[in-house]
Amino acid sequence: MRVITLAGSPRFPSRSTALLSVCQRALEARGVEVIPWNIHNFQPEDLLYARFDSPALTALKADLALAEGLIVATPIYKASFSGALKTLLDLLPERALEHKVVLPLASGGSVAHMLAVDYALKPVLNALKAQEVLHGVFASDTQITHYDRQPELDALLSERIDEALETFWQALHRRHQPYAQAV
C-alpha cells in the first residue's frame, strides 16, 4: 500500500505540514509506504510559469500513478486553500487522482473558515477525478504545538486525526481496483 502526502504550505516550519508528519508516522506503523511531497520540492518559477515538463512535476506524477491514496494538507489563506498549492494542482493531469482515496487536512487561525476545505479544496480534488474524497480535518492553530520539532496535537485534534486515518485506511482497502476483476 502506497500513499502520497502533499504539503501545500509555502512556509516552513508549518502547522499543516506537521499534521502530515503525524499521519505519516501512524500509517507507517500500519505498514503503509508513505512518500512525502512538499511545495518546496518545486522550483517557484516552474509553478508560476506553468512548466508542465519540470522534472519535479514529472516525478510527482510518477509517484501519484503508483499510489492508492493521497493526504493533502494546506493552510487556510484568505478563506481558501493556499495559492501555492493551487499552482501545483493546476499542473496535474485531469485524471491524476483517478482510483485514489484522498484525505484533505487544513490548519487555520479561525474556525470561521473551517469549511474552506469543503467549498474550495474538495471541488478541485474532484476535478482531478479522485475516486473518494473523505471528510477533511480542520485544525486550529492553537491545537498544534512544537510544529518546528516534534509536533504535538491537542487531545481533540489527535482523536479526529486518528478517526480520519481509520476511515482513510478502510477506504483504501475497499477502493475500486481497476484491474482486479481480470484475475
Ligand X SMILES: Cc1cc2nc3c(=O)[nH]c(=O)nc-3n(C[C@H](O)[C@H](O)[C@H](O)COP(=O)(O)O)c2cc1C
In the complex, which residues of this chain contact ligand X (CB under 6 A)? 9, 11, 14-17, 75-79, 107-110, 113, 141
In the numeric block, the cell 484522498 is attached to: 102
Q: Which is nearer to ligand X, 145 or 167 (CB)?
A: 145
Q: Give φ, ψ of 149 to 5 degrees.
A: -130, -105
Q: Which three cell numbers stand for residue 32?
A: 503503509
Q: Measured from the CB of residue 62, what is the shortest distance to ligand X in angstroms? A: 26
What is the per-residue DSSP string for 161-182? HHHHHHHHHHHHHHS--TTGGG
Q: Measured from the CB of residue 22, what is the shortest distance to ligand X in angstroms? A: 13
Q: Measured from the CB of residue 16, what is the shortest distance to ligand X in angstroms? A: 3
Give every CB contact of residue 18 below 8 A, 6+ residues apart in sequence. 144, 147, 151
Q: Measured from the CB of residue 183, what is the shortest distance to ligand X in angstroms? A: 42
